[in-house]
């Protein structure tokens, strides 16, 4: 199943937990694993407590690791300014696996699935959700 999400870019953090949960219910595997994959190299997925302080800390951490103002070799080759977005996406990773029980995601009380878009501006992002049924 595909889910399309419009993002604003520039470290846009979007809670996609409810979208993923609906997809899992529609796919209809009672118990198993949901594999979630974003099809873009300047995005990543993670599970985090979705609250303002964490989002600010996460943004600050990525700015220290892959600063947006640095002149990356990628910029020189492609004449764009999203080199940090590609590195941040590689660090975060494009995929997650979440257990499913009785057609529902098994997440902890504060765990939320988030998409982070590190690119320069708004984008239409595609997320793939696949469910793998557990063997009895």
Q: What pLDDT, on the 0 to 100 scale, is given for residue 18? A: 98
pLDDT tens-digit profile of 65-118? 999 988 888 878 777 889 999 999 999 999 999 999 999 999 999 999 999 999
Mean of pLDDT over the chain? 94
Using only C-alpha atoms, the chain has a radius of gyration, in whole angstroms, of 16
Number of domains in the chain: 1
Beta strands 111-117; 95-101: pairing state: unpaired
Is the whole model's pTM more than 0.85, yes or no? yes
Q: What pLDDT, on the 0 to 100 scale, is given for residue 133? A: 92
What mean pLDDT comes out for the span 38-56?
A: 97
Write the CATH number for 64.
2.60.120.460
Q: What pLDDT, on the 0 to 100 scale, is given for residue 81? A: 83
Are the CB atoms for 45 and 115 separated by under 8 Å? yes
CA 35 to chain centre: 12
Domain that holds residue 25: 2-133
- Residues of the chain with pLDDT > 70, as a percent, come to 99
Are the CB atoms for 47 and 107 separated by under 8 Å? yes
Q: Which of 4-13, 49-58, 73-82, 88-97 has the lowest mean pLDDT?
A: 73-82
């Amino acid at each position: 199943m595909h889910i399309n999400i419009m993002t604003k870019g520039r470290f846009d953090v979007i809670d996609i937990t409810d979208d993923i949960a609906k997809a899992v219910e529609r796919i209809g595997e009672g118990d198993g694993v949901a594999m979630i994959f974003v099809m873009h190299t300047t995005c990543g997925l993670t599970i985090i407590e979705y609250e303002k302080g964490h989002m600010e800390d996460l943004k600050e951490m990525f700015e220290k690791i892959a600063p947006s103002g640095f002149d990356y070799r990628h910029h020189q080759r492609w004449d764009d300014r999203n080199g940090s977005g590609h590195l941040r996406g590689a660090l975060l990773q494009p995929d997650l696996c979440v257990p499913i029980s009785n057609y529902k995601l098994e997440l902890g009380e504060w765990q939320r699935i988030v998409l982070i878009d590190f690119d320069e501006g708004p984008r239409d992002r595609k997320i793939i959700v696949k469910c793998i049924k557990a063997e009895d």
